[in-house]
Amino acid sequence: MLFAGKVVVVTGGAAGIGRACSEAFAAEGAKVVIADVDKERANAVVRTLQDKGQTAIAVPTDISISADVARLAQAAVDAFDSIDVLVNNAGIQTYGSVITTDEEIWDRTINVNLKGLYLVSKYCIPHIKAHGGGSVVNMASVQGLASQKNVVAYTATKGAIIAMTRTMALDHAKDNIRVNAVSPGSVDTPMLRWAAEKFVPENPEVAVQDWGALHPLGRVGKAAEVAQGVVFLASEKASFITGANLVIDGGLTIGI
């Protein structure tokens, strides 16, 4: 198993890509710390993993709040003595241009998607360093590379995450910590389904199919497909990869 005995913290680890990451790391022998703002959902995922004989705990966390994040890092160390891998996955999707985006929505998007990544890294990386090194994987998006209309706050955070990943990789290479990003295209998750209902409330599946058709492979991705990329980057199979951005988008960004 790739992560036998390793401790992996996954933010937003109870739904969508985050849940798929929690499941994938647990299947590879990791002790998984599921940080999620939804306590009941996180506990349900933990029970599912434990029923398979896997090891996991849930830590209710709002990653935009420093005290919550400090408690998360301490809970991981109290339960499992160390942290080896951090997956900065938690995030929210918001819509609007600079004109139509309310300041409150702008601030919330920045606080969760960007400040949250900063805080979780700030509190968890020292524990990774103390244990001899490890890996950080940041969840970005193709929206950080190319964009659509009316996603200004979300796109700003995802572009920033890609840039942060590069500087974090430089900052922590000396500590034997690799830092990489993953940029998914459209992926079938609760967030995508929420967006589909927002845009085509009478038939959300039409939106999902339309978004899938934009990808050369002709469909939206699966959360498990993204999770496998995350597991790879976090593993020793990627031991000479740092500062990279792995695009998992069914070919969405290769066309002109």
Which of 178, 136, 138 minimizes the C-alpha distance to 157? 138
| Residue 48 burial by Cβ neighbours in a 10 Å radius (0-12, 13-18, 19+) | middle
Mind listing the pLDDT tens digit for each residue in 43-62?
A: 999 999 999 999 999 999 99
Q: Can you give the pLDDT at residue 197?
A: 84
The yes-or-no verdict on residue 199 having pLDDT over 80 is: no
Give, for 92, the enclosing helix (H) or strand (E). none
- Type of residue at 144: G
Confidence of residue 196 (pLDDT cuts 50, 70, 90): confident
The answer to whether 118 is a known catalytic residue is: no
The yes-or-no verdict on residue 128 having pLDDT over 80 is: yes
CATH top class, domain 7-185+223-248: alpha beta
Q: In the chain, where does the domain assigned CATH 3.40.50.720 lie?
A: 7-185+223-248
Which of 16, 29, 17 minimizes the C-alpha distance to 8? 29
Mind listing the pLDDT tens digit for each residue in 60-111?
A: 999 999 999 999 999 999 999 999 999 999 999 999 999 999 999 999 999 9
| Residue 157 burial by Cβ neighbours in a 10 Å radius (0-12, 13-18, 19+) | buried
Angle at 172 between CA 246 and CA 234, to 5 degrees: 40
**Which residue of the set 95, 118, 123, 154 is catalytic?**
154
